[in-house]
Structure 1
Amino acid sequence: MNDRDLDIVARNAILLLIPLVVEDFDASADCIIHVWYSAFLRKSDLDVLQQRIRPLIEEVCHKLTAKAADKLLAKTWTYGQRSVRIVLQKSAWDALLAFTDKPKDLTMEQARKLRTNVTLAEDRMDFRDRHLWLQTPSHRVAMVHFRENGLLLPFGTSHVDFQQPNP
Structure 2
Amino acid sequence: MHCACMERSLFAGRSQRLTDGMDDRPNGIPFSPRARLASFGHAWRGLRRMVQREHNARIHLAASLGVIGAGLFLHVGIADWRWLVVAITMVWLAEAFNTAVENLCDHVEPAFDPAIGRVKDMAAGAVLIASLAAAAIGLLTLGPPILALLGAALPALRLTLPPFSG
- TM bin, normalised by shorter chain, reads under 0.3
Q: What is the TM-score with the length of structure 1 in the denominator?
A: 0.23
Q: What is the TM-score with the length of structure 2 in the denominator?
A: 0.23
Larger RCO: Structure 1 or Structure 2 (Cα < 8 Å, ≥ 6 residues apart)?
1
More helix by share: 2
